[in-house]
Structure 1
């Protein structure tokens, strides 16, 4: 009896493997929808539009960028979590999804349970930038000004609970300053109002503000990281200005719905890594301030688990409470 059950289980496992192999051979059988859970103009969107054409060439099907902003990125993220697990709907996500649980955010999805990691894409430093008219140019000058004018400075972010928002909250706790947080629906409008001087500063990805810095419409005050960025020569990091342990690096990855066949995930991972290694894509992303980083699905899963623990510790240590 036992041997019969064992044979049945072995047969079932073999059937699943064959089914997965068959799916991988036919995948993709239709255009792939690459969901960006934010409005155009932010890091997710820039990366998606950089890798989509090359991945389409590799996979032999169009890769269509689909912006679905709302609820701090949760709207588009949830749509992918609920999509058919066939690899034809995937998500470009930042490590914001590892921050939400630490903030007690109630989301209809669970990062580790509802998604299949595909691979890492890139990381980018977050930079404190200001409208060019503001009277401070360095981190020490900014801290002194903020302390002398409590509540008179406002900073924008792409939304409550985003990494950029948390970068500001941790900064305020560490420097004992008080700024008013102004959340927006996406990176583009958050930066536009700093350029227009409706808001004085913002914590933004280097990729999303590099063109404004080059044009002289914004000025970089400091890099929100332990070390300076080679893309911003002459601009010191928060760590170099005495904020030891401060690190607000933003990183991005591709995810598929949970239960997407391993063979399909492997095919998407190979296409992603090949696209990132393309000289044209690598040069384009480097020019916009991104450091590309490839990985296996297993390595990405490990990084997600580690980041969930890190942000839980950061939020707890600084007693950060955010209204989501």
Structure 2
């Protein structure tokens, strides 16, 4: 194949082949990757492409991140975590764009599900009970997702179960460090106070690298739960980055009852504990969060069968907010 021209993954159309699979349609694209629904011998799968070849001038190392994503997922086998089946290159097995073959989850993101279904509080809390257990599965495998958010949780229509996807920012215990700078790529509104504090103290140090803990992923899950319950982010999406970082580090978000007076203080207390400024004040395990959510399911009574308020919605729902080191 000529080195002067190589088709790009974003140009793929229905009917084209990638290995043994046939492209059906593109289902998503972000800064670093594009995802397609494909058919492999009658079964649906997803293919996720890196949008740059490893040999290109790729400062974000998208090809290496895709390999690391595969390695992270190979540590885990769980029905609520997307599964990977293989790695390849297209259109040339040596020079082409890297891709992963993965489960295709036929369901909306958490935010879209919330808007379309208008779930009850019971449905939301039960979904997050499952996600709390998923956090412990990751922890036992020594994997940190590092970008837990509503856009990375899909809801299967068949059973209403959540599935955690997009491990493009993930890190596992034996993984090679790819980030050049204090913080790995992530979505600004879901960063923890301690990670931002670390960045503020170390942004001039090229050797400094923040080591994510389970409490970081639990914090991000707390931001997502806050959004799911009231349809608003804990901190305004309109804030400049510098002010947002100060808010995350220093300001306690409003109680949930400010946006929905039906929500009792006991629910706010669990959510705001997840958003504590100090990691030691948060739930330390997914099981601890699961226990608190189960207690809410037994105590908040008639609220459980009421539906969450769908409007107004002020949520981080796109991939465009991901960034490298600030």
The structure with more helix, counted as a fraction of residues: 1
- TM-score (structure 2 length as normaliser): 0.26
RCO higher in 1 or 2 (8 Å CA, sep ≥ 6)?
Answer: 1
Greater Rg over alpha carbons, structure = 1
